[in-house]
Chains A and B, each alone.
Chain A
Amino acid sequence: MSVDDDIINQVVAEQLLTAQNWRMVKAHDGRTCLDMIEAAQVLPDLLLLDVMMPGMSGYEVCTRLRKKYSSALLPIIMVSACCAEKDVVQAFRSGADDYVMKPYKRTELTERIKAHIRARDAAKGFDDLAARVLEGTSSSVEGRDPGHTLLAYPACLLLVTKLAGLAARLH
């Protein structure tokens, strides 16, 4: 999803992304973006979020989204023509995963998007695996040989801890 009040930027972004066989959904302001995400059955794979927009700024949109969705669920790349340190810092403090300058550089933008989607998929994979391990551990405790359980439990706990640590670093 691309959120930008400028139509030229949206058209260029769409051509750039469709060239990579990605489908782009557009929103022209922050409120529309939040409403679309709320109404959607499936979250977008990634959000390109302009900073300066009328009404709600990109910072505010990002802050609100992060209250509900972690980076593992919704990577957010903030985009802006401003490159001052304070703007970049504010973007990361509001929960952005990356900050890209406009006008877009085709190769740079597409590689950044791919990197964030890889990271998101890896984090999801760890979360799923950790959930399955914990599920397996609790079913062991319920019905099986206590000796087995005593041996299996610390090993599972160690594995889950390591996975959680790795997932946290990716987040």
Chain B
Amino acid sequence: SDTKVMTCAAVWRMPKELESGSHESPDDSSSNTQTLELLCHLDNTAHGNMACVMWEPMGDGKKIISLADNNILLWDLQESSTKAVLSSSAALEGKGQLKFTSGRWSPHHNCTQIATANDTTVRGWDTRSMRQIYCIENAHGQLVRDLDFNPNKQYYLASCGDDCKVKFWDTRNVTEPVKTLEEHSHWVWNVRYNHSHDQLILTGSSDSRVILSNMVSISSEPFGHMVDDDELSDQEDQHQEEKIKEPLQDSVIATYEEHEDSVYAVEWSSADPWLFASLSYDGRLVINRVPRALKYHILL
């Protein structure tokens, strides 16, 4: 009958028990399945398929941006989030049928910037004026699949795409990527910065692999964790100096091959910075830890 497929977006509330950091045993949660409470729909009938929805990274959680086909929609949640009002929007104009594939809201600059991806291009937008502020043409050889902002360095942006590459950009100078990773053997679907240690980069790809990389050279701590001199004895001091002198090398920390099919999502835990999960087409959710040795290396 109705042969149209429409991607929509809605705002949901998580069950209270889960929200308050559950202490229940796994048995409990599986026995009585919690259901989400629908708060409101983001009405996109005029704008096309929703490709991406983003919460404002800081603030009171009243602002949402969604990408629908070639539109950027900024929503205000009102009346205790039961109503979403479109507060402003912008449309990407250009040749052909442009569609956003992905977007990311920058936590920097007082949350006034977002980055979007369409086809091989990455664009930055100012949410106050809803105007484009930068544009990386041909950021990837093929489709750009995902973006992420460095949580600690305000101009740094990671992107990944169908050319099997992960690229790191400085949005002040977009002619060349700062760094390029070519570790995957198929499309890279996700790239994620660790929330607190931005040298840790997680990528998931349809080659069924998850790769954890250590991009020290372009992180906010390029010489490792800085320790105040006072806290160190002489011996340690010497040791520390040696460590500082040696610039740390970017490297792949680990390749996780637990998945048997394409990995479509990877995410860091918001509670524990050393924990991450990946989800693949074969229905497998894998949770991994950052290797202990690396953890201590970063912390100490």
Chain B binds chain A: no
Residues of B within 8 A of A (CB): none
